[in-house]
């Protein structure tokens, strides 16, 4: 917001120039000293004298905009334009308040007028870029950024914005180049560090993201979103206490920081810390700023405590108008919470509709579900080359003690994981992308695609073995564990690589009723990626389930796997018998501590799957045959699932 100074060319009545000048200069001095109320009073006295001066109109507009009285701000900015229609700054001020209140079409109109009056006015182009970003006009936004670069080729903000824009376009290499250039131009500028942290988090470099978010806070300790973003990163890195401290710090800085409350409530719920969640909800009781957030998370607490009628009463009082306007994470959580509450109330149609809305994560727009399908198919191609088997057998020289827990998402892997890690001699590494790291080495260092595993040399395979064994060991919290199990359900499709490197690996394959598995996938709000993009509907989940199981059958038949089938329903219905069979397969004695698996789950600071709220509960059977409540919605899924009902003997 920019006000006019005391330039005398704006005065039209030459006879009263001295009186006007004296009055206006006095008002401007009050304004500049921060005496805004007195300045406002002086400006209004000037207007009552019939003095129509653009500086007065503009500065009153600025003051009212600072007070969020946008209607009056717009009124005075328009009067400024009328009194001085040649001023590009008058149009710029009006466009900025329109941008602030979301009237993007009008803001665009006035910004174009600004550029017509002053074609090299950088701020107008920057605001026009913001208009196009807000209205998702990506092509126009990119064009405007290029114009900004021509005007100011070394402006760190523009270069950083271009990097952020390219990041959102998923052009990661170019994005990083521009963001780092912005940092080199202005090393103490927090915005490019924030963009770099976001980029590193996007590609999974969490430690780099952590470092850069720390830099943001160091430079700008009042940027609250950095505390929340860094808290999320710390949570993903299992630095639970540090994550909590960051969320609390954001609220210490600003007591009405809504995103801070949402993040803190979500954090406590996801880490199963209901005691602290309830405490915070009680502390904030009656806080009008977060009225709907309080209703939503109180409802979730009652749901977790199995008071379903109270949970429904509260969730039904949440404003749907608020739901539509809140941030995407809170909105998705609301629909997920509501869906499960409606399900417990046996309102299955309402539950289904809510589950659909819980899948509307805009991050999926950057995902390509076809890429994951091609990834599966490319792996399978290795089996058609005889060199795959010849090399695998010739490279194998000793038995490595490696173990994998696989299956399909939501098939019961997390429950079995929790049970197994209750054994004093077993540790389970939960969904860490070590195999994915091997894939990156194969593609980036060895220059092979995943359908060319058979081209790997013995030296390259040994390097992959060493990398895997070293890294899986580092990830283990139980340093004396005799068995370390790598649990990652979708590594089912990576079995050709696993088998090529470790032909004698022990594989536990978990399965569950296909319809219940597919339903449970659809009901979860996964973190978006190419694989999870296939699980957003019953139909899509059924298709990818079918493809994955076809691969399992082929791999089981052709790879000579050392495997054990683990049926989820058997674990539920005959817990001790089933776990003893799994222990026999692992060649380890059954231990009574396995019965206390809930204590193991509750002692964990974080469970890194959507099952986190379920595995801490006693074994329950309500998840069996749950799909029958949604039978009508499976009408186009039977072609993919019926064969697996027979195959798994359900």
Q: Which of 111-125, 584-598, 624-638 has the highest mean pLDDT?
A: 624-638
Query: Would you say residue 176 lies in a domain?
Result: no
User: Residue 461: is its pLDDT beyond 80?
Assistant: yes
CATH number, domain of 404, equals 3.40.50.300
Nearest to 264 by CA among 250, 285, 253, 254: 250
pLDDT digits (tens, 9 = 90+) for 465-482: 999 999 999 999 888 899
Helix then strand then coil, % of the chain, to nearest 5: 70, 5, 25
Q: Could you give the angle at which helices 206-219 and 224-236 cross, rounded to 10 degrees?
A: 160
Average pLDDT rounded to a whole number, residues 533-551: 97
With 0-12 / 13-18 / 19 or more C-beta atoms within 10 angstroms meaning exposed / middle / buried, residue 307 is: middle
Query: Would you say residue 100 lies in a domain?
Result: no
Tell me which of 8 and 312 has the higher pLDDT.
Answer: 312
Compute the distance between CA of residue 10 and CA of residue 54 in angstroms, rounded to an integer. 7
Lowest-confidence pick of 52-56, 446-450, 489-493? 52-56
User: Residue 45: is its pLDDT beyond 90?
Assistant: no
Compute the distance between CA of residue 167 and CA of residue 209 in angstroms, rounded to an integer. 14
Query: Would you say residue 462 lies in a domain?
Result: yes
Give the per-residue pLDDT at 13.
46
In angstroms, the first-to-last Cα distance of the chain is 68
pTM of the model: 0.80
pLDDT digits (tens, 9 = 90+) for 571-626: 999 999 999 999 999 999 988 888 887 666 555 554 555 544 444 454 556 678 89
User: Residue 388: is its pLDDT beyond 80?
Assistant: yes
User: Residue 2: is its pLDDT beyond 70?
Assistant: no
Tell me which of 608 and 566 has the higher pLDDT.
Answer: 566
Q: Mean pLDDT score of the chain, rounded to an integer?
A: 90
Sign of the torsion formed by the C-alpha atoms of 73, 76, 81 and 87? negative
Give the per-residue pLDDT at 348.
98
pLDDT digits (tens, 9 = 90+) for 311-340: 999 999 999 999 999 999 999 999 999 999
User: Residue 427: is its pLDDT beyond 70?
Assistant: yes
Query: Would you say residue 87 lies in a domain?
Result: no
Split at pLDDT 50, 70, 90, the class of 17 is very low
Query: Would you say residue 175 lies in a domain?
Result: no
Give the per-residue pLDDT at 80.
82
277 phi, psi to nearest 5 deg: -60, -50
Q: HEC states along 342-368? A: HHHCCCHHHHHHHHHHHCCCHHHHHCC
Number of domains in the chain: 1
Query: Would you say residue 264 lies in a domain?
Result: no
Compute the distance between CA of residue 509 and CA of residue 354 in angstroms, rounded to an integer. 32
Query: Would you say residue 527 lies in a domain?
Result: yes
- Structural domain span for residue 609: 380-647
Instruction: Enter the DSSP assignment of 101.
Output: T
CB neighbour list of residue 437: distance below 8 Å, 6 or more residues apart? 467, 471
Give the per-residue pLDDT at 8.
40
Compute the distance between CA of residue 444 and CA of residue 584 in angstroms, rounded to an integer. 40
Give the per-residue pLDDT at 202.
87
Compute the distance between CA of residue 380 and CA of residue 492 in angstroms, rounded to an integer. 11
Please report, rounded to a whole number, the percentage of residues in the chain having pLDDT higher than 90.
72
Tell me which of 65 and 192 has the higher pLDDT.
Answer: 192
CB neighbour list of residue 410: distance below 8 Å, 6 or more residues apart? 512, 517, 520, 521, 524, 610, 611
Compute the distance between CA of residue 594 and CA of residue 582 in angstroms, rounded to an integer. 12
Query: Would you say residue 239 lies in a domain?
Result: no
Q: Is 605 left (phi over 0), alpha (psi -120 to 50) or beta?
A: alpha
């Amino acid at each position: 917001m920019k006000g006019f100074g005391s330039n005398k060319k704006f005065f039209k009545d030459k006879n009263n120039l001295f009186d006007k000048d004296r009055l206006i200069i006095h008002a401007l001095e009050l304004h500049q000293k921060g005496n805004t109320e007195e300045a406002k009073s002086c400006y209004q006295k000037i207007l009552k004298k019939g003095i129509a001066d653009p500086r007065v109109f503009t500065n009153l507009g600025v003051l009212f905009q600072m007070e969020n009285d946008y209607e009056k701000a717009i009124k005075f900015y328009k009067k400024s334009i009328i009194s001085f229609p040649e001023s590009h700054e008058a149009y710029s001020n009006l466009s900025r308040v329109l941008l602030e209140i979301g009237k993007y079409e009008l803001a665009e109109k006035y910004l174009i007028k600004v550029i017509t009056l002053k074609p090299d006015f950088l701020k107008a182009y920057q605001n026009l870029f913001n208009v196009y970003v807000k209205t998702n006009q990506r092509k126009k936004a990119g064009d405007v950024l290029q114009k900004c670069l021509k005007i100011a080729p070394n402006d760190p903000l523009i270069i950083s914005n271009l990097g952020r824009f390219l990041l959102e376009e998923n052009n990661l290499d170019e994005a990083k180049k521009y963001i780092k250039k912005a940092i080199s131009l202005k090393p103490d500028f927090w915005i490019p560090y924030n963009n770099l942290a976001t980029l590193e988090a996007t590609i999974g470099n969490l430690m780099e993201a952590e470092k850069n978010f720390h830099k943001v806070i160091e430079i700008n300790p009042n940027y609250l979103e950095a505390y929340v973003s860094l808290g999320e990163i710390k949570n993903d890195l299992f630095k639970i206490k540090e994550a909590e401290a960051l969320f609390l710090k954001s609220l210490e800085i600003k007591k009405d920081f809504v995103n801070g409350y949402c993040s803190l409530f979500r954090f406590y719920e996801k880490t199963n810390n209901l005691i602290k969640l309830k405490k915070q909800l009680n502390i904030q009781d009656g806080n009008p700023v977060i009225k709907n957030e309080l209703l939503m998370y109180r409802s979730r607490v009652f749901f977790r405590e199995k008071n379903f009628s109270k949970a429904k009463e509260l969730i039904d009082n949440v404003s749907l108008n608020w739901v539509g306007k809140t941030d995407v994470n809170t909105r998705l959580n609301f629909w997920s919470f509501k869906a499960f509450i409606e399900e417990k109330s046996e309102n299955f149609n309402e539950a289904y509709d809510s589950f659909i809305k819980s899948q509307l994560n805009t991050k999926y727009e950057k995902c390509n579900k076809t890429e994951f399908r091609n990834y599966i198919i490319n792996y399978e191609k290795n089996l058609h080359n005889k060199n795959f088997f010849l090399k695998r057998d010739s490279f194998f020289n000793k038995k490595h003690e490696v173990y994998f827990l696989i299956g399909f998402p939501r098939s019961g892997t997390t429950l079995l994981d929790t049970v197994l890690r209750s054994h004093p001699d077993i540790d389970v590494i939960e969904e860490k992308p070590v195999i994915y790291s091997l894939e990156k080495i194969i593609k980036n260092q060895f220059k092979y695609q995943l359908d060319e595993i058979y081209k790997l040399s013995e030296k390259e395979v040994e390097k992959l073995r060493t990398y895997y064994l070293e890294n899986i060991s580092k990830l283990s919290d139980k340093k004396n564990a005799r068995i370390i199990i790598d649990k990652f359900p979708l590594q089912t499709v990576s079995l050709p690589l696993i088998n090529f490197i470790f032909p004698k690996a022990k594989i536990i394959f978990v399965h569950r009723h296909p319809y219940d598995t597919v339903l449970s996938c659809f009901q979860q709000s996964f973190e978006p990626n190419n694989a999870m993009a296939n699980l957003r509907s019953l139909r899509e989940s059924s298709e990818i389930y079918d493809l994955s199981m076809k691969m399992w059958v082929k791999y089981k038949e052709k790879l000579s796997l050392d495997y054990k089938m683990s049926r989820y329903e058997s674990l539920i219905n005959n817990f001790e018998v089933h776990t003893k069979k799994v222990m026999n397969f692992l060649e380890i004695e059954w231990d009574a501590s396995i019965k206390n698996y809930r204590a193991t789950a509750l002692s964990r600071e974080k469970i890194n799957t959507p099952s986190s709220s379920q595995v801490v509960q006693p074994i329950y059977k309500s998840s069996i045959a749950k799909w029958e409540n949604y039978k009508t919605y499976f009408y186009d899924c039977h072609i993919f699932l019926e064969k697996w009902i027979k195959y798994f003997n359900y």
